[in-house]
Amino acid sequence: MRAAQDSVTAELDRLAPLLEPLGRVFADAGEQLSLVGGPVRDAMLGRRHTDLDFATSAHPDTTERLLKDWGDATWDMGRSFGTIGARKGDWQVEVTTYRSDVYDRASRKPEVDFGDSLAGDLGRRDFTVNAMAVTLPGRALEDPYGGVVDLAHRRLRTPGTPEDSFSDDPLRMLRAARFAAQLGFTVDDDVAAAMTAMADRLEIVSAERVREELVKLVCAPYPRLGLTLLVDTGLAERVLPELPALRLERDEHHAHKDVYEHTLTVLEQSIELEHRLGGAPDFVSRFAALMHDVGKPRTRRFLDDGTVTFHHHDVVGAKMTRKRMKALRFSTETTDAVCRLVELHLRFHGYGTGEWTDAAVRRYVRDAGDQLARLHVLTRADCTTRNRRKAARLRATYDDLEQRIERLEAEEELASLRPALDGNQIMEALGIPAGRDVGTAYRWLLELRIDEGPLSEDDARERLLAWWAARS
């Protein structure tokens, strides 16, 4: 408790040049203003915020007038919902009128009704750790639902009954999993029970909102906690059914683990390798790790000798991943990137102990395209064996492949793999107009480039003419 109080004091001291003048502006106008939600929670956790949320007794028109007098710019964030935004220097704030909404069970969109008290406004929030406030300008902590205690116990609880909270807004069930992943918290038993019993309520939540929560969860510091909660409560069956489907499958390379646990381990190991991608959370890399084996349940075959195979689960998994990401309304660019990684995640295992020709290495780079760095991460993360010798051997073999790629890159500019002749030169050499034949010839030259390495323009033209004559 004392540590949380000290953290809040330190953060409020840092924010004082913003908070004190803004609080006085509202107080002088006879209105109440409080810092609320995430900024208060994170202040207790020793985290900093630059985008701040406030609750006020003032209605939107009054809020807008007061913010114009105080800030450098203001904008309408959603007047019908009571929210006005403003900027002051480097700070951005959102000020929302107290709310006491009424929800229709057929929709998660509330009938907005402005409230008349801070306690009432806090009571409609998702979790107690987000239902705390600091009143301004006096800095009094308001915690009517025990958020400080829950924060100390690293526990997620709802201000009222979880059934009422999740009935009002089913998205809060996904937010519970997301906050577990972001904060490293556990959920209260009553909350978990309500999530399990009310999982079907997610049907009224749009795919876009589900996607947003899933991205935040996957990019959080502890995604395993959130994903496990989704699977254990049955929510994953509604938003990412491919994940719980892995739970009963056995990985043929790691018989001591089921594919579900293997997948979560690959995800965590890919996170440990994100320094190769710049260090920031990388959704494409993480989601590819999460989806890389989803094709196994559909491709599992039991052989007479007792072994299990999952032939072509990479190709099947890529198709399943594309279907799921399309349903969740992911962009085409993100979907293509993830699916390419899923489809290629086994390619390295054909490398053996380095038997690939230079042509095979070039094809590996060509097929990975702009996802090569992520493919390196996924392939390395996919090694979860407890056999230290085997793990060391796989790492050394992949080190060798990367070194060969670097050598060929330095010699041949693999990243921009092109034949020696462009389209215009092909048309000139063959005496043909633009059309399908030019594309066919270009692709033949590209395969020749991959097989044999760089050629001079004269050699490429000679080989092209011979190929064209034989083809004709």
C-alpha count within 13 angstroms, C-beta hemisphere, residue 209? 14
- DSSP letter string over 55-96? EESS-HHHHHHHHHHHSSEEEEEEGGGTEEEEEETTEEEEEE
> How many Å from the N-terminal Cα to the C-terminal Cα in the chain?
84
Distance CA 124, CA 16 (A): 28
pLDDT digits (tens, 9 = 90+) for 81-100: 899 999 998 889 999 999 87
Distance CA 127, CA 150 (A): 10
Q: 283 Cβ partners below 8 Å, 6+ apart?
A: 215, 218, 219, 334
pLDDT digits (tens, 9 = 90+) for 44-71: 998 887 779 999 999 999 999 999 999 9
More confident residue, 80 or 2: 80
Q: 52 Cβ partners below 8 Å, 6+ apart?
A: 15, 18, 35, 39, 91, 92, 93, 94
Q: What is the pLDDT of residue 278?
A: 94
Q: What is the pLDDT of residue 453?
A: 85
pLDDT digits (tens, 9 = 90+) for 278-323: 999 999 999 999 999 999 999 988 888 878 888 899 999 999 999 9
| Residue showing tokens 């006085």 | 24
pLDDT digits (tens, 9 = 90+) for 419-435: 889 999 999 999 999 99
Average pLDDT of the chain?
Answer: 91
**For the residues 138-142, what does the mean pLDDT come to?**
93
Q: What is the pLDDT of residue 254?
A: 46
Please answer whether residues 180 and 157 qualify as being in contact, where contact means their C-beta atoms are separated by less than 8 angstroms: no
Please answer whether residues 137 and 27 qualify as being in contact, where contact means their C-beta atoms are separated by less than 8 angstroms: yes
Tokens coding 6: 């000290």
Q: What is the pLDDT of residue 50?
A: 72
Reduced to 3 states, what is the DSSP secondary structure of residue 73? strand
Q: What is the pLDDT of residue 109?
A: 65
Reduced to 3 states, what is the DSSP secondary structure of residue 431? coil
| Residue showing tokens 């107290």 | 98
Reduced to 3 states, what is the DSSP secondary structure of residue 350? helix
pLDDT digits (tens, 9 = 90+) for 441-458: 999 998 888 888 888 999
Tokens coding 101: 């909404």
pLDDT score of 251 more than 60:
no
Among 157-166, 335-344, 387-396, the minimum mean pLDDT is found in 387-396
Amino acid at 135: T
Containing H/E element for 53?
Answer: strand 51-56
Q: What is the pLDDT of residue 352?
A: 82
Q: What is the pLDDT of residue 1?
A: 60
pLDDT band, residue 256 (cuts 50/70/90) = very low
